[in-house]
Structure 1
């Protein structure tokens, strides 16, 4: 039995990680047995794969401490296995605790012993919390990709995530540019990637097909399979699968980052 390829997708909240992850999973599902583990407290990663929000591990375990796979594993488009870690009630507890509890339960029920080809982790990246480092720290994911746009806070978060990857001696596979239509955006993101010693592995153009798909709780790959946008996600999936360049990043310090960003503005 081959060991699943663990891929962690990090990025600032709201940058489009979940859209990237769900469409990657849909693209991979054509040839691989795929699992998606949503590690964001919003628990919305798998909605477009399953067609609805699924119960989270934390919510399930509040009611049933002895939860089984049937309680937390759901099958989505392309037979992708979907899991959401969930988070605490607003204003109570640690946002990253859901990740810790989720990984413990998945270990207990033997999910990682299944014949999976690819496991994708959708991880929040703008909260400084140990729970969100679990996929890397415990080596569930062997490679990391960061989603960013050319916006200040998105790049700032990407730089901070790089600091965490360096601290954990993780393997950064590259940057995914999820475009917001900013002037010189691709140039900025490519230079950012070079600054930290990495590369851009994919550029996703802004498209109204994303919103049209998500309104119907579907991925672009499922709803508009012949579209250029769907092909973009498939190309990104292939780029990640064939990637051979992994680095321990060298993030910028605050002054260097400010100087870098302002040269484009």
Structure 2
């Protein structure tokens, strides 16, 4: 069996609002029980680490604007389970390129040696806007070794997932699977499983819809922290374990526009 590398470098992609930040923060909390974890939020909303730290943390772009001599402590914060947290940030809506924040962040993180000493697990939360080159940075610059796509069974979420798989294919990235983050639509798991099959991968985990997620987020906590004995927490724990041990990777084969429309219409 192939050994897991010293640092497991994971990128989680997905359409905005699909719940990838919830997935990232909860699997980070799960890993923290016996591993050193670094979470890097690459979404301009800068909300990935809120439920780990208990509040919004200053973003790299905001700190760089305010200070000439940025220190590691200015941008690196410790959250639940001693998870190290960073947010790249982005410009205000409608102003500038959000992906530029990712580029600036990665350069500064390297300069400040935030990646040292090597954590056991490094997780990037990346918005699935494949049009913007900045969001390809974790893969293109080989900061991340493997990718997982979060989607539901809804049309736009799957459409975005298919576009993301095009970006992964172009960069010859290693797709480890699809995470089905359920919204409660009809035939949802069946639809997502068929989608995964069509692009040459598999569903690595199904995360059920749960009110515990929102209840936890009200308190700026992960489900793993607030409801550790719940079935929902167990699901995140299972997902974290599956990702950590995963050795099944593919370069995806995304569907063309017509094939995608045909695929989705069959479930109407």
TM bucket (normalised to shorter chain) is over 0.9
Which has the higher mean CA deviation after the structures are superposed, 156-165 or 91-100? 91-100
- Tell me the distance in 2 between the aligned counterparts of 1:253 and 1:178: 24
- Residue of structure 1 aligned with 2:126, choices 123, 128, 136: 123
Is the aligned partner of 1:154 residue 2:153? Answer: no
CA distance in 2, matches of 1:113, 1:51: 24
Moved over 2 A (4+): none
Alignment partner, residue 53 of structure 1: 56
2:249 matches 1:246: yes
* Distance (Å, rounded) in 2 between the aligned partners of 1:194 and 1:251: 10
Once the two structures are superposed, residues 39-87 of structure 1 have per-residue CA deviations (whole angstroms, 9 ceiling, x without a partner) of 0000000000000000000000001132111100000000000000000
1:133 corresponds in structure 2 to 136
Structure 2 SS opposite 1:113? coil
Cα deviation digits, residues 205-229 of structure 1 (max 9, x gap) = 0000000000000000000000000
Task: Report what 1:174 is aligned to.
Answer: 177
Matched, 1:29 2:25: no
Question: 2:240 matched to which residue of 1?
Answer: 237
Shift of 1:121: 0.2
Structure 1: how far apart are the matches of 2:186 and 2:93? 37
Q: Does 1:38 align with 2:41?
A: yes
Cα distance between partner residues in 2 of 1:31 and 1:244: 21
Alignment equivalent of 1:211, drawn from 190, 214, 219:
214
Number of equivalent positions = 264
Contact 2:11 2:144 in 1 (8 A): yes
Aligned residue for 1:197? 200
Distance 1:52 1:36 in 2: 15
Structure 1: gaps of 5 or more residues: none
Mapped contact 2:130–2:163 kept (Cα < 8 A): no
Stretches of structure 2 that go unaligned for 5 or more consecutive residues are none
Structure 2 length-normalised TM: 0.97
| 2:71 alignment partner in structure 1 | 68
What is the CA–CA distance in structure 2 between the aligned matches of 1:111 and 1:42, rounded to whole Å? 21
Deviations along 1:173-201, one digit per CA (max 9) or x if unpaired, are 00000000011100110010010000110
CA distance in 2, matches of 1:65, 1:23: 34
Match of 1:261 in 2: 264
When the two chains are superposed, the root-mean-square deviation of aligned CA atoms in Å is 0.9
